[in-house]
Each structure stands twice: as structure tokens, then as C-alpha cells.
Amino acid sequence: MKHVIEQLVLSALDKAKNNGELEIAESPEIVIEKPKDPKMGDFSTNLAMTLAKPERKNPRAIAEVICKYLKNGGGQVERVDMAGPGFINLKMTPSFFISRLLKVAESGEDFGSSTVGKGQKVLVEYVSANPTGPLHVGHGRGAAVGNTLCNILQKAGFDIKSEYYVNDVGNQMNILGRSTLLRYQEIHQKSVEFPEDHYQGDYIKDIAGEIIEKHGAEYLDKPEEEALPFFRQVAAHWVLEGIKKDLKDFRVEFDGWFSEKTLYDDASVENALAWLRDKGYVYDKDGAVWLKSSAFQDDKDRVIVKQNGDQTYFCSDIAYHQNKINRGFEHLIDLFGADHHGYVPRMQAVMQALGYDRDVFKALLVQFVSLKRGGEKVAMSTRSGEFVTLKEVVDEVGVDAARYFFLSRSCDSHLDFDLELAKKETPENPVFYIQYAHARICNVFLTAQNQGVKVPEVSDVDLTPLVEDEEFALIKNILAFTEVVEKSALAKEVHRISHYLHDLVAVFHSYYNKHRVVTENESLTLARLFLLHCLRITIRNGLALMGISAPEKM
RNA sequence: GCGCCUGUAGCUCAGCUGGAUAGAGCAACGGACUUCUAAUCCGUAGGUCGCAGGUUCGAAUCCUGCCAGGCGUACCA
């Protein structure tokens, strides 16, 4: 919608330039805003103020010229005036909004989509938690944000694929296997010492128990070298399947699950290293192999092969990200927990070493979640196995509430997640506010239906009965949806959607309390129903982006 | 020490990349259900935007320096 206004302003500038009233040496950036006070108009621009310097004129004088040429705005501009230090305020005609509202109904599920992404191929990698134990709340935040970011980017016209990178090789896997083996022996009354750095969680005992069910004491007397691969494989599979299920239950699905192991099997890691070594970005020191990441703005060089010959995770990350680019992705977005932020410069260094622009890689850092229960902090520690899992949270508060809490805060601020609050079905809990609006609208349609009124078709609806300020406030808010999605996509800021929906729905609730929709006046009823129809589409589409349900009844 | 994030109403947070009188929700207080769901609405009250400088027509927003909290600073992930 603002693009249209932009065009109007641009053409006004052109005319002013052609008539010699303004110089306009270079075309300025047009910023269209919504004035704080609706009395000021529907749109405003500070253009005259930004032009003051290059034009060497008083901003008010410039504004006056622009206003003059804006007045013939193709019959869409009702009023244009200058205010304050040089703001230009525009008020549009009702038909300007009405004609656009019709398109909302036409677009339906598609409303909100745009082409700002220009079909650029983007790979979003998120969660990617080590498959050594169940996901906890922190992963949940990453999952909700990553999933929603994909939805938003897609809606904004990016070509998105999502991926979970499975670290299925390395020392962590060995420890997982060994933890399971030890528990297995323990259950068979064998006295074992369970090391502190092994996985303490009860799920390890569950896995061992399942192995016993199928294989009994078969592995009890086998040497560790023989038993370990089996336990490692079974445990890894068990954990990964659990993760997949938890995510699915959380409405998070991936386009792909990428196994780290395959990068070793097909020699990708080896080849990447050889290539980098050939370029002189890899060298040997102290018996280890290093990447010269300091050549690309990283603090220091990083080890990729340890003294003992094991590769670091960072090593296969190089091959993995090269692999992503080889698959044709133009932008790589990784979601990291805040504790991984040290990884960002070294990944950007990798991009450069591989010969790409460092900005091809973008990390989205998601800050920590601190879990509370009625204001009291819930302690969490992975090592001791005392963590609150995603599943537990979802079981307790439900998917909708959990996702809403994760998605309504900016990623780079710490999140206080209060389980008691998320669970409450009272006005203290903001989750239901949006859903309630949707249910209310559905109920209005039910009432209308019971009285034999049908929702009008786009082709024959008469919207002239819509005259109330609140109605136009609603229409304007609905029409802003596409821009919100666009901006949210470009800024990669997921939380804008929930704030937008909250504001949108507030306007509705207020309207609902003031005006009746289903009345004796048929043409008015039809027009209002149509407006609500468009509103319902917007709420549904917005909630769909966030992966939150839109209930018809509450 | 260095790096990243954060500091806005009693609490939880927005503030659209420098604009007009800093906004919501919750909590507090006062009102609105014989009328499409009161999980709602209307109103009142609540602020030295961490502190101090700087940049300009204009700063919560940009720059510098402090202060406070979180997270990093591994041949762990």
C-alpha cells in the first residue's frame, strides 16, 4: 500500500522538477509513514525535511511545492497538507481503501504475500541440536523462531528450504553410546562407575531398558569395542526419533535432515580441506591442523583437526556450508543459541576462505530462555540432567501458548517464560486475545447464517455503507499486513507479526463493542460481514505464519 | 582484558532503522453484559527512555566514555 503512496510522491517530485520549482539532483529515498494521530491523515512523509539540505531551502517551502503537485493525485487523494516543521500529510479517499480491501478477499490464503524476496534461494538451518538427549525449552525457542522465519520469508517471496544438521559423528556420540552401555550393565546388576561427563538423564536408562527387552543380556559379556557401536547406533537413533517427534508435535517440520556423517563418507570434508590447503588457508602447527581464519577478521586461527587426529565440529561445518552453496543457495541463515555467538566471525571467515562474500552467511542469534513458575526461577542444567524439556513445556501449556511466548519477543532479548502464566486461561495471558477475536468473528458469521444472511461475493459487494472511523481504521490495519510481513522478512524479525496481530485485533475488539455487525439494515450487515471476512483472512494468515491455530470457538 | 546481546511505567515487553505529545499487555483504581461470546470494551493513574557527554532543524534510536546484568573468549558442542 505504501508503495502506491511512494509512486504518488515520486510523480509529484517529477512535476516539480520539470517545472523548475525543485532541483532534485538525485532521487531521494521516499519514506512513507503512518502519522501517530489519525486526524493528521492516513500517510505522511518527511521528504521535505530531508530535501532541505540539498535544495538549500526551508523545509516548509519545499513541502508547499510538493503538496501543490500531490493534490491531483489521480483522484485517490482526498486531502494533502503540511504540518509542523515540514511533514506532508495525506488523506486518501474511501475508494482508495475499499478497492484494496476487495483484493484481500480475492487473495484469500495468499493475502500478505509479496515478491520482495525476488525468489532468492535461502537455506535456513535451525535447531540442529546434538542428538544426545531430548530438546529443552531453549531449543524450543529456536525451533519456533526458525520455523516462523521460514514461513515469513516464504510469504515474502524468498525461495526457502529448511534443514536440521544432525551431528551424528564425533566424541559426543561415543559418550552417548557408552552412557547407554553403562546403564545397560547397571540394570544387570553389574557394578559400574558412571562418569560425570556422561549423559545423566533418565532417558538413557529408558534406551538401555529397550535394548534389554529386545536383546536381553546378549551384550553383557561382549568386549566394549564390540558392544559400543551397537549401543551408539541404537541410542542415537532413539534420541533422534524422539527429537523428530517432539518437533513435529510442536508443528515444526524440516525440508531436510542433513547427516554430518555423510560429509565424511563422501569425502566432502577431505576435499574441502585439501582445497583450502591448496589456497594456503590451512596449515599445520603443534601437531594440529589450523584454518587461517584470522586472515578474515576472526580473532584468531581455529583448529580443525586436533592433535589426536579427530576433526573438530567446526571442520565439518566448513564442508557443510560449502555443500549448501554447491546446492545453489544464495543465502545461508543459521540460527544459533546466544552461547554460540563466537561462531559467527569464524563462519564468515569460512565463507571468505571458500571464495564467497562473507555476508552470504547470516547468523540469527537467539538469546536464552529463563523458565519461571509463578515468578520463581526454574533451575536448568544439562549436565546433571535437570532440564525442562520442550515436550514437558508443550504438554503443560500447549503448542499455541508456547509458540506465542517464543514468538512475541525480539530474538536478541532474553526471554522470561512463565509456565504458570502461559497456562492460565485468564486475561493475564495475552495468548488468547488474538484467537478470541477469530472465534468471535466466526460466531458473528454463525449468527448471520442463522438469520439467513450470506457472506457477499467480491464481485457484487457494496461497501459504501462502511463509513465509521473504526471501520476505516480496521481496513487500514488489514491492508498493512503485507508490509509487516515484508519488513519482518527483510529484518528477519519474527516478533513483528505477533505485535501486528495484537494491534489489529485490538481495533476489532473495540469496533465489536461499539457497533453491531448483524443488524436489520441488510446492506450495512453485508458490508460489515465482508469487512470481517477480510479481517478473518488476515488473522488466519498471520496466525498461520506463527504456527498458531485459529479456533472457531472458544 | 577483549567481543556479542541487553538496560524504556511496579512487572513483561514494543517503539517500523533519526521525526510530531515515548506506546501495549499485566498488576492498581473507576465504569460497561435482557442486544452477534465480558478470554471483551471504555476511562483514570503510572516515565530523569541506566548515567554523562557529543553529532543536528530534531536522539529512546547514531558516536564516545562510564555503570549494571547475561553470554562468550577451548585441540567442547
The pLDDT score that the predictor gives to residue A57 is: 78
User: For A95-99, A123-127, A143-147, A457-461, which range has the lowest pLDDT when averaged over its residues?
Assistant: A457-461
Same domain, A444 and A538: yes
Q: What is the ipTM of this complex?
A: 0.95
- What's the number of domains chain A is made of? 3
The pLDDT score that the predictor gives to residue A333 is: 96
Of A92, A108, A141, the one marking the end of a domain is A92
Angle of helix A137-155 relative to helix A481-491, nearest 10 degrees, comes to 120
| CATH number, residue A14 | 3.30.1360.70
CA closest to C1' of B14 belongs to A499
Of A76, A92, A108, the one marking the end of a domain is A92
In a domain, A276, yes or no: no
Query: Which residues are registered as beta bridge partners of A159?
Result: A121
Confidence label for A164 from pLDDT (cuts 50, 70 and 90): very high
In a domain, A338, yes or no: no
Of A240, A272, A292, the one marking the end of a domain is A240
Q: How many CB atoms lie within 10 A of CB A233?
A: 13
| CA of residue A525 to C1' of nucleotide B41, angstroms | 21
Q: Over 70: is that where the pLDDT of A105 sits?
A: yes
- Domain span at residue A37 reads 2-92
Give chain A residues 37-66 with Cβ within 7 A of strand B. 37, 40, 44, 46, 49-50, 52-53
Stronger pLDDT, A287 or A380, i.e. the higher one:
A287
| CA of residue A186 to C1' of nucleotide B15, angstroms | 57
Q: Over 90: is that where the pLDDT of A503 sits?
A: yes
Q: Over 70: is that where the pLDDT of A72 sits?
A: no
The pLDDT score that the predictor gives to residue A494 is: 95
Average pLDDT over residues A317-325: 96
Same domain, A445 and A535: yes
Name the nucleotide with the smallest C1'–CA separation from A470.
B41
| CA of residue A14 to C1' of nucleotide B54, angstroms | 38
Angle of helix A469-479 relative to helix A522-546, nearest 10 degrees, comes to 30
Contact at 8 Å (CB) between A69 and A77? no
Nucleic strand B near CB of residue A200 (< 7 Å)? no
| CA of residue A439 to C1' of nucleotide B38, angstroms | 14
User: For A38-52, A238-252, A467-481, A488-502, which range has the lowest pLDDT when averaged over its residues?
Assistant: A38-52
Q: Cα(A356)–Cα(A326) distance, rounded to whole angstroms?
A: 12
Which positions in strand B are less than 7 Å from the protein's CB atoms? Answer: 3-7, 12-17, 19-21, 23-27, 32, 35-42, 57, 69-77
Give chain A residues 308-347 with Cβ within 7 A of strand B. 308, 310, 312-314, 338-343
In a domain, A474, yes or no: yes
The pLDDT score that the predictor gives to residue A322 is: 96
| CATH number, residue A523 | 1.10.730.10
Q: Over 80: is that where the pLDDT of A73 sits?
A: no
Nucleic strand B near CB of residue A515 (< 7 Å)? yes
User: For A39-43, A53-57, A238-242, A463-467, which range has the lowest pLDDT when averaged over its residues?
Assistant: A53-57
In a domain, A286, yes or no: no
The pLDDT score that the predictor gives to residue A10 is: 85
Residue type, A63: A
Q: Cα(A198)–Cα(A194) distance, rounded to whole angstroms?
A: 7
Average pLDDT over residues A348-371: 92
The pLDDT score that the predictor gives to residue A21 is: 85
Nucleic strand B near CB of residue A372 (< 7 Å)? no
The pLDDT score that the predictor gives to residue A160 is: 97
Note every long-range contact of A537-540, with CB atoms under 8 Å and residues 24 or more positions apart, other chains counting. Answer: A537/A104, A537/A105, A537/A107, A537/A108, A537/A109, A537/A111, A538/A104, A538/A111, A538/A112, A538/A478, A538/A481, A538/A504, A539/A434, A539/A437, A539/A438, A539/A441, A539/A501, A539/A504, A539/A505, A540/A109, A540/A438
User: For A31-35, A426-430, A467-471, A524-528, which range has the lowest pLDDT when averaged over its residues?
Assistant: A426-430
Average pLDDT over residues A147-156: 97
Nucleic strand B near CB of residue A513 (< 7 Å)? yes
In a domain, A321, yes or no: no
Question: Which of A12-26, A294-308, A456-470, A537-551 reaches the highest mean pLDDT?
Answer: A537-551
| CA of residue A142 to C1' of nucleotide B21, angstroms | 39
In a domain, A120, yes or no: no
The pLDDT score that the predictor gives to residue A146 is: 97
In a domain, A280, yes or no: no
In a domain, A303, yes or no: no
User: For A192-201, A267-276, A303-312, which range has the lowest pLDDT when averaged over its residues?
Assistant: A192-201
Confidence label for A456 from pLDDT (cuts 50, 70 and 90): confident
% pLDDT > 70, chain A: 98
CA closest to C1' of B70 belongs to A414
